[in-house]
Amino acid sequence: QSFKLLGFLDVKSVPCSRESVLYGSVGSLVVGLGHFLATSRVRRSCDFAVGGFICTMLGYWFYCRYNLAQQRIRQRMLREGMRNKILFEGSSLDPERKQTGNERSNS
DSSP string, the chain: ---EETTTEETTTSTTHHHHHHHHHHHHHHHHHHHHHHH--HHHHHHHHHHHHHHHHHHHHHHHHHHHHHHHHHHHHHHHHHHHHHHHTTSTT-TTSPP-HHHHHH-
Kindly report, residue by residue over 75-88, the tens digit of the pLDDT.
Answer: 999 999 888 777 77
Its pTM stands at 0.69
Q: Would you list the domain boundaries of the chain?
A: 16-86
Residue 18 pLDDT: 84
Kindly report, residue by residue over 2-46, the tens digit of the pLDDT.
Answer: 666 666 667 777 788 888 989 999 999 999 999 999 999 999 999
